[in-house]
């Protein structure tokens, strides 16, 4: 049965690739309406950007960054992720497929593969190798079982549109860029280069080689990370040194300044937990636009760019830290510079831009507790006690295969050999785990449709569960509880702090305004498809956002 499932999953991926190849061979004349299309679409995702960051630091934002975006753009104020788990790989894939993990198969940043008997990464691909660096696992989008809006753009223009993905994280670049991408590039912490894989090309383009050779990252390491303004003016944040903040990059305490000079030429991964990760990403994005002449041809091009540093900073220091405030104040200034660059290169109104996030984040449990609000940390011992309890009660050496994505992967084969009823095991698991004050419920995934939980939780769990790649039980944490300890911050749940994300459109055919109507993350790609008059991705379940697509005049 497992071999059959593996064959079916592989066949699904091969079918997508074969379809793309077949369509590529067809002869399509240039669309006579091309002149009415945007020169380029800039899809910008900010990793761990909670919706309220649009406004929280607004008094210190520049006029040309987030303020311009809200002034000239259209903001979908109540955009929600419509599935769980709310993690990076799922978020990037759902935005660009208009689909959910149940369909596109990206069930988490990684998941337990029952056929391979191990945890696999969402973009790991042993059939390809790294280009631009040495060592490491090859990466590709093959685990995504749906096409993306970037794929559909390539298909619609007979592959004359160029689509490029860029991010510090590999998955944040690869999954948005799509199966048929011109290229996807991500960051190599060992040598500080942007790299790719043989899925896309045999060697880096000359412009990318020149960028890497400049070692711009050394300049950022030389600067260290000081606050943009005097540290005592950061009144939207907590004090610089809080006991519930973690430390990174060898710091003794979570306080400014954060030293980076020591990592120059040695550990470039340190840049990820500083705003300079954003700066470097902007630098490479501009180099890619110039290098590929994106937006300079007869067809709409697409740059999918994701900023990974806010996520790294948020996990370590939390959303109320001076570090995160300083990060977004810097990001705002860089966003303003980027808009100026786009205006000069393409002209206002000739590019379509949108910004969103892959997920939000909770406050640090330590922050909640300090302010007398309910929160806490789910002790890892709760799960080790479950394993030992299952071993003792059912006399099974290896009862659980993996804990992943707040799910439990059971070794049912061993239970079945002894004729043990699955329902009896379920009752025992609930009895043990529900003793933890931080666990709200444990649900059998095979019966999510009848689970005694209210909406929208039930629908979000169903949409987020992939039959072939998901576990056997979903663990639901209590609001604001985090696994491990009370330090730092995390995400992944259905709760609003994780699921409420920004979505603002600006540029080509976008009229200023806003709506508080509920809009799903999965509506983004269908909206782009409607605007461009192209087919939505193969697994899309979202709907076009009528406030964006209901443009006065003929649909032609």
Active-site hit among 88, 163, 227, 356: 88
CA distances from 313 to 239, 249, 346, 399 (A): 16, 11, 33, 36
Length of the chain, in residues: 556
SS (H, E, C) 4-33: HHHHHHHHHHHHHHHHHHHHHHCCCCCCCC
Which pair of structure tokens corresponds to residue 517?
Answer: 């109507």
CA distances from 360 to 4, 379, 497 (A): 37, 23, 6
Q: Which residue has the tokens 């208009």?
A: 98
CA distances from 317 to 228, 267, 330 (A): 17, 20, 17
- CA neighbours within 13 Å on the CB side: how many for 255? 9
Whether the CB-CB separation of 254 and 245 falls below 8 Å is answered with yes
Count of beta carbons in the 10 Å neighbourhood of residue 20: 18
> How far apart are alpha carbons 373 and 365 in whole angstroms?
9
Give yes or no: 88 in active site. Answer: yes
CA distances from 64 to 282, 319, 331, 338, 518 (A): 16, 24, 12, 9, 28
DSSP state of 380: T
> How far apart are alpha carbons 269 and 277 in whole angstroms?
9
First to last CA, the chain: 50
Residues annotated catalytic, as ranges: 88
């Amino acid at each position: 049965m497992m071999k059959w499932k593996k064959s079916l999953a592989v066949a699904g991926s091969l079918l997508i690739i074969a379809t793309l190849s077949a369509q590529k061979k067809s002869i399509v004349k240039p669309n006579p309406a091309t002149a009415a299309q945007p020169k380029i679409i800039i899809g910008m995702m900010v990793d761990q950007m909670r919706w309220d960051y649009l406004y929280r630091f607004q008094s210190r934002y520049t006029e040309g960054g987030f303020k311009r975006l809200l002034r000239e753009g259209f903001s979908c104020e109540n955009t929600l992720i419509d599935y769980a788990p709310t993690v990076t790989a799922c978020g990037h894939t759902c935005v660009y497929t208009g689909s959910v993990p149940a369909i596109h198969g990206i069930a988490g940043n990684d998941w337990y593969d029952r056929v391979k008997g191990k945890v696999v990464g969402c973009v790991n691909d042993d059939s390809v190798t790294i280009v631009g660096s040495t060592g490491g696992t090859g990466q590709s989008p093959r685990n995504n079982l749906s096409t993306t809006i970037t794929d559909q753009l390539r298909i619609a223009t007979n592959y004359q549109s160029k689509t490029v993905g860029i991010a510090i994280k590999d998955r944040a670049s690869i999954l948005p860029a799509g199966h048929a991408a011109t290229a996807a590039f991500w960051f190599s912490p060992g040598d500080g280069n942007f790299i790719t894989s043989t899925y896309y090309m045999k060697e880096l383009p000359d412009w990318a080689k020149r960028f890497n050779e400049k070692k711009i990252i050394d300049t950022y390491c030389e600067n260290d990370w000081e606050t943009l303004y005097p540290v005592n003016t950061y009144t939207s944040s907590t004090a610089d040194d809080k006991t519930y903040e973690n430390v990174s990059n060898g710091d003794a305490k979570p306080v400014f300044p954060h030293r980076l000079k020591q990592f120059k030429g040695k550990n470039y991964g340190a840049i990820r937990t500083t705003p300079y990760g954003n700066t470097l990403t902007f630098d490479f994005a501009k180099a890619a636009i110039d290098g590929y002449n994106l937006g300079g041809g007869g067809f709409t091009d697409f740059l999918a760019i994701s900023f990974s540093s806010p996520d790294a900073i948020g996990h370590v220091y939390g959303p109320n830290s001076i570090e995160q405030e300083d990060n977004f104040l810097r990001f705002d200034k860089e966003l303003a510079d980027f808009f100026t660059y786009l205006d000069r290169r393409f002209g206002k109104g000739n590019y379509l831009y949108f910004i969103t996030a892959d997920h939000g984040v909770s406050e640090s449990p330590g922050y909640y507790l300090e302010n007398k609000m309910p929160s806490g940390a789910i002790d890892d011992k709760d799960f080790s006690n479950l394993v030992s309890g299952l071993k003792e009660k059912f006399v099974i050496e290896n009862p659980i295969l993996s804990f992943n994505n707040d799910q439990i992967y059971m070794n049912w084969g061993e239970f079945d050999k002894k004729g043990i009823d699955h329902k009896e095991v379920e009752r025992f698991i609930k009895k043990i785990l529900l003793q933890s004050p931080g666990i709200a419920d444990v649900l059998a995934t095979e019966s999510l449709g009848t689970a005694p939980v209210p909406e929208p939780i039930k629908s979000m769990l169903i949409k987020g569960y992939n039959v072939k790649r998901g576990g056997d039980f979903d663990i639901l944490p209590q609001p604001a509880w985090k696994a491990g300890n009370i330090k730092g911050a995390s995400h992944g749940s259905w709760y609003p702090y994780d699921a409420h994300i920004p979505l603002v459109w600006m540029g080509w055919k976008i009229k200023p305004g806003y709506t508080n109507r509920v809009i799903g993350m999965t509506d983004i790609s269908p909206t782009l498809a409607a605007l461009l008059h192209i087919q939505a991705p193969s697994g899309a379940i979202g709907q076009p956002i009528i406030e964006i697509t209901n443009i006065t005049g003929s649909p032609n």
